Amino acid sequence: MPAANYDQLYHQKLMSPDEAIKTLARDTSLITFGCYCGTPPRLTRAFCEAAAADYFTGTPDVYLLRSGKEVVDQYINVEVLKRIRLLCPFLGGSVRQLADRAQEMSESHPDLIIPHYLPEHFSLYARGVLARRGKPDVHLFQVSPMDEHGYFSFGVDGSMSIPLAFAAEKLIVEVNPNMPRTFGPGVIHVSQVSTIIEHTSELTIVPEKAESPEDSKIADFVADLVPDHACVQLGIGAVPNEVGKRLKHKNDLGVHTEVLGDTMIELIQAGNVSNRYKQLDVGHSVFNVALFSNRDYYDFMDNNPTMACHPAHYVNNPHIIAQNDRMVSVNSFVEIDLFGQVASESVNWRQISGSGGQLDFVRGAFRSKEGIAVLAAHATAKNGTVSKIVPRLQNIVTTPRNDVSFVVTEYGCTNLFGMSTSERAHALIELAAPQFRDELREEARKLTIY
């Protein structure tokens, strides 16, 4: 088909956001959205306005994964929350604030539907949607402008968007000139799209977190574990950023990561990443979500052939992760007990984030040839008044003790793999802040593991 035909088809499908939402059947029952930068802000507003106006005859299920505050705030409306059921696999940041606000509003509006949390590994999110509720009636997501071949790029959101988009009965895209074009399976042709809207908006910018002396000490321990030619997964935040700074003397690193953050781009730009020694996706930095504090980093990704955006069922699949040698995975935790059980998504049984990809990468990296899985965090919380190393976990388990190996705090690094329960207790107490160690030893004796 000549390029002129693509343009003609594009303009035939182009309409206003309100018109686009009104193309949905009134009995639509399952709606999914893109994640973070893939969430279409203007379509979200139009959708929430239609829901509040009682456009839908039933109560559609709406999957909202992770999105910026300006998008999530569209849902903080009694009339919206009475008429849809939000399903959230991640209750961090603005989504948690939405859930808390909904809980408050429900006291005076008992017919309001409080968002539901879905406990699933990131690698299985899309599978959970399809297995439990079938194919989405519609998937709404933000894309890069159409290229000369008639293709849109999913940009920096592969996560759930790629599998759900290809499964959905209907696709509505929001074309944003700020969305970078990336490589990988996240492309969709104009002929496959039902409806198009155009809207220019800034991509999500995450605030930089100032590093602390504890972050620096933790990063020193972690960086020492990373060899040349390692394939690295780092998250976002102060500790990953500090680890990244210390990897600038490493050579020929590879990238296979859930979230591509600032520190990864800085390593790529500094020449520390070549992706030459990977066993899969050689020459490509693989990710499923990109999220930066610097707008220029999104520009760096645009039309960069080394940037490969894949879905979470590929990036986070432990069997895929394990195929890259020297895989190094670095994640954080909220609490770890003396048996080695790890809580990373809740505080006092209250959900504060999600299971995410932690266990996916812990298991994948551990099974990689010469690979390691690191769980790192400050030894204390609340200005040193609370120990993150506790006798018994009174919280939701994210990573079972049998999967935990390297643990790092500012007080040291230990590898629990192969240790007895007693050896684990001894080793973990040495990673605790000194003011808590005697108490932990006493509790360990009561548990007969010291």
d(CA 46, CA 149) in angstroms, rounded, equals 29
- Determine how β-strand 151-153 pairs with β-strand 187-189: antiparallel
Instruction: Judge whether 441 and 435 are in contact, CB under 8 Å.
Output: no
Cα dihedral 81→82→88→93 (10° resolution): 30
Residue 444 CB: number of other CB atoms within 10 A? 21
d(CA 242, CA 253) in angstroms, rounded, equals 16
d(CA 119, CA 355) in angstroms, rounded, equals 6
Instruction: Judge whether 409 and 378 are in contact, CB under 8 Å.
Output: yes
Position 168, amino acid: A
Q: Looking at 120, 258, 266, 443, which residue is catalytic? A: 258
Residue 70 catalytic? no
- Determine how β-strand 346-347 pairs with β-strand 285-290: unpaired
The CA angle 431-433-434, to the nearest 5 degrees, is 105
Question: What are the residue numbers of the active site?
Answer: 258
